[in-house]
Structure 1
Amino acid sequence: MSSVLDDGRPIFLSLADQIADDILSGVYPSGSHVPSTNELSAFYKINPATAGKALNRLVDQQVLEKRRGLGMFVTEDGVELLREQRRARFTESYLAPLLDEAERVGLSTDDLITLIHRQRSGPTHSRP
Structure 2
Amino acid sequence: MSYQFNDKDPIYIQIKKRLEDQIVNQELTENDQIPSTTEMVNFYQVNHITVSKGVNLLVDEGIIYKKRGIGMFVAEGAREKLLEKRRGDFIDRYIVPMLKEADKLDIDTEELKEMIKAAKESDIDSS
The TM-score, its normalising length taken from structure 1, stands at 0.92
What is residue 25 of structure 1 aligned with on the other side?
Answer: 25
1:111 CA drift (Å): 1.0
Alignment of 1:86-105 (within 5 A): 86-105=86-105
After TM superposition, the score normalised by the length of structure 2 is: 0.93
Tell me the distance in 2 between the aligned counterparts of 1:102 and 1:36. 47
Q: How do 1:1-128 residues align onto structure 2 when only pairs under 5 Å count?
A: 2-3=3-4, 5-122=5-122, 124-126=123-125
SS at match of 2:20: helix
Which is bigger in relative contact order (C-alpha 8 A, separation at least 6)? 2
How far the C-alpha of 1:126 sits from its partner, in A, is: 2.9
* Cα distance in 2, alignment partners of residues 14 and 32 from structure 1: 20
Paired amino acid for 2:63: V
CA deviation string 1:13-72 (max 9, x = no partner): 111011101100011011111111111111011111100111100001100000111111
Counterpart CA distance in 2 for 1:99 and 1:7 is: 30
State the shift of 1:77 in Å.
Answer: 1.2
Describe the SS at the equivalent of 2:124. coil
Letter in 1 for 2:124: H
Identity %: 32
Spell out, residue by residue over 1:49-103, the C-alpha distance to the aligned partner (whole angstroms, 9 max, x if none): 1001111000011000001111111100111110111011111111111111111
Deviation of 1:127 after TM superposition, in Å, equals 9.2
Answer whether contact 1:7 1:14 (CA < 8 A) is retained: no
Q: CA RMSD in A?
A: 1.6
Q: Secondary structure at the match of 1:126?
A: helix
Distance in 2 (CA, whole Å) between partners of 1:39 and 1:86 is 27
Amino acid at match of 1:23: I
Residues paired across the two proteins, number? 126
How far apart are the structure 2 equivalents of 1:25 and 1:81?
A: 13
> Would you identify which runs of 4 or more consecutive aligned residues in structure 1 move more than 4 Å?
none
Show structure 2 runs of 5+ residues with no match. Answer: none
